[in-house]
Amino acid sequence: MQRFLPPLRKAALLIAAGGLAATGFQPLMLWPLTLAALALLIQRIAIAPGPGKAALAGWLFGVGLFSIGDNWIATAFTYQAQMPAWLGWIAVVLLSLYLAVYPMLAALAAWLLHHRLRAALAPAFAACWIITEWMRGWVFTGFAWNPLGMVTLGGFDRPGLARIAPWMGTYALSGLVVMLAGCWLTAFNAFRDGRRPAAAGLAILPAALLMLPLHGGSAQGTLPFTLVQPDFRQEALNDPAQFEAQFRKIAALSLPTKPGQRRLVLWPESGVPDYLRPGYEPYWYQDTYAGDPDMARERLGHTVGAGSLLMTGTTDLQIRRRKVTGAWNVITALDSTGAIRGSYAKAHLVPYGEYLPMRQWLEPIGLSRLVAGSLDFLPGPGAQTVDFGPVSKGGWGKAGFQICYEIIFSGEVVDRAHRPDYIFNPSNDGWFGSWGPPQHLAQARMRAIEEGLPVLRSTTTGISAVVDADGVVRDHIGRLQPGRIDGLVPPAHAPTLFARMGNILGLGWGVVLLLLALVARARRKR
């Protein structure tokens, strides 16, 4: 038994290091722990006796990183009657066992580059991390939550080092974080070897960069808006007995301050349980607010008033041969007459949240979606821009849409051929626990910086926010409180380099780091 203790201790140390690395994300923002934990991982890869040991080190680190960083997923199970709440933590660990494959691949590739090609380890590992993290964003539909670059984002009033995202992209920022951790490891080794001045300089550089007081602009827009957070709690959100009270609450928060005021009115995902499209069988309408789609749209238009355009989350149904076969999670835009002026269907759906993969096998053994409903949602066509007319001529501008979880996918949030003026990101964060909402908002801020576009987030329970094109939170409503924000939509920047190139830019930086690693090797050999 004694001979197994050292390997177990090393494994526990790497898992704990990964967990510490996750504290650099919101809501804790303890980025020094992230750098220190990554430095330990780089050191373990360097001394690994073979590629298998290096891969194992990366995998164990990833298990800790994702188990702590994604702990909010466990909260979803507390709103699912068909499965016990304790199963949520098992789900988090099982997901982490899979997600840890990506750090494992990065560690394996870095070890091979370092030991077989004699490439410098830190830039080689940074390059591999960029590539594998990009892969995590699309393999098996992708789960891009909490890329490592998120630790560069500052507080609400400043973007911090993330301000350089327009020239790098989030995944390349992740590589930069690995490089900064490599600086700390080099500083530690220099200190141990007695080179104190060099150690001090290498230790201070990452801290100085991550504490840069980089702020955004303060320009004002011209399009008025009212953004509403109704505080619809998740446990009551889908209860038909609560629908009328919920409507009165959100309507009271949305009234215009003066008659005929031209403005956007922004409601969250799940803001309206009515089916607003006509043509469904009558029984589909009977448990909604109004019981009739025409009446529902008219009431919504009357609520927001003349001159207003309401954008709200709702649901459209797919009907074939008079039978409902699926649904779309949509944003519907209504004017004051109740006319539908445009819509957007969510493209990037949440597995087990909005559809049940392999339903024919999982449903018979008692597994179901984590949110209410037995119908699977269907994917929309992808990022779209809807033109509601020039603001200068009384319109509401060109709107881009991303519903909830979609906003986390770097490089996928904008129709590049038809650039919008702003992105509307309605969400239901009520089942995300206390860690999920601040992490979700942080990722929306990163999209704003990358694309140079303001992001307007209306959520059921918070955090709702107005984010300008520099990633600065102009105003917000905290969790679990009702409220509204009135203001002017912040202006967009000219298209950024990332907006023009997408994730090709980040992968290009990965190639640069790989070349740097090989050049460093060549110089060592001379």
* Coil/strand/helix, residue 196: helix
Statement to judge: residues 299 and 162 lie in one domain: no
| Helix, strand, coil shares, percent, the chain, to 5 | 50, 15, 35
- Give pLDDT tens digits for 351-381: 766 665 545 444 444 455 455 556 788 889 9
Q: Note whether 314 and 298 are within 8 A (CB).
A: no
The listed range with the strongest mean pLDDT (104-113, 317-326, 360-369) is 104-113
Domain of residue 427: give its range. 224-490
Is the separation of the CB atoms in 323 and 375 below 8 Å?
no
pTM of the entire structure? 0.92
Q: Are residues 362 and 473 in the same domain?
A: yes
286-295, 320-329, 390-399, range with the lowest pLDDT: 286-295
C-alpha distance across the termini of the chain, in Å: 47
Reported residue count of the chain is 526
**% of the chain at pLDDT higher than 70:** 90
291 and 376 share a domain? yes
Tell which residue, 148, 120, 153, 123, has the closest CA to residue 133. 148
Poorest-pLDDT segment among 46-50, 138-142, 205-209: 205-209
Shared domain for 231 and 286, answered yes or no, is yes
Average pLDDT over residues 497-508: 97
Say whether pLDDT at 237 is over 50.
yes
337 and 230 both lie in a single domain: yes
Q: Which two tokens stand for residue 84?
A: 């016990």
497 falls within a domain: no
The Cα–Cα gap between 491 and 494 comes to: 10
Domain of 263, CATH number, reads 3.60.110.10
> Do 368 and 348 meet the contact criterion of CB atoms below 8 Å apart?
no
Q: Are 319 and 401 part of one and the same domain?
A: yes
| Residue 502 Cα distances to 221, 244, 457, 508, angstroms | 26, 44, 22, 11
- Asked whether 270 and 243 are in contact (CB, 8 A), the reply is no
Contact by Cβ (8 Å): 327, 315: yes
How far apart are the C-alpha atoms of 325 and 348, rounded to whole Å?
19
* Burial classification of residue 395, based on how many CB atoms lie within 10 Å of its CB (0-12 exposed, 13-18 middle, 19 or more buried): middle
**Are 280 and 377 part of one and the same domain?**
yes
Name the more confident of 2 and 402.
402
Whole-number mean pLDDT of the chain?
A: 88
Q: Are residues 54 and 137 in the same domain?
A: yes
The neighbour count for residue 84, using CB atoms within 10 Å, is 11
Do residue 327 and residue 454 come from a single domain? yes
Q: Are 213 and 472 in contact (CB under 8 A)?
A: no
pLDDT tens figures, 395-434: 999 999 999 989 999 999 999 999 999 999 999 988 888 8
Q: Which residues of 437-460 are buried (b: 16+ CB within 10 A; e: fewer)?
A: bbbbbbbbbbbbbbbbbbbbbbbb
236 and 119 housed in the same domain:
no
Compute φ and ψ for 361, nearest 5 degrees: -100, -35
Task: Say whether both 47 and 143 belong to one domain.
Answer: yes
The two tokens of residue 406 are 């979609």
496 is a domain residue: no
Q: Does pLDDT of 165 surpass 80?
A: yes
> Does a structural domain hold residue 55?
yes
498 within a domain of the structure (yes/no)? no
Phi, psi of 339, deg, nearest 5: -75, 140
Calpha distance 153→171 (Å, rounded): 13
Residue 28's nearest CA partner among 473, 409, 442, 456 is 442
Q: Domain for residue 495, yes or no?
A: no
Report if residue 380 sits inside a domain.
yes
Lowest mean pLDDT among 53-57, 290-294, 505-509: 290-294
Q: Which helix (H) or strand (E) holds 302?
A: helix 293-304
Average pLDDT over residues 95-113: 96
The answer to whether the CB of 439 falls within 8 A of the CB of 447 is no
Position 234 in a domain: yes
* Amino acid present at 355: Y
188 and 316, same structural domain? no
Please report whether residue 450 resides in a domain: yes
Q: How many domains would you assign to the chain?
A: 2
Retrieve residue 467's tokens: 């984010």
pLDDT tens digits for range 194-217: 787 877 887 888 888 888 776 666
Amino acid at position 316, single letter: D
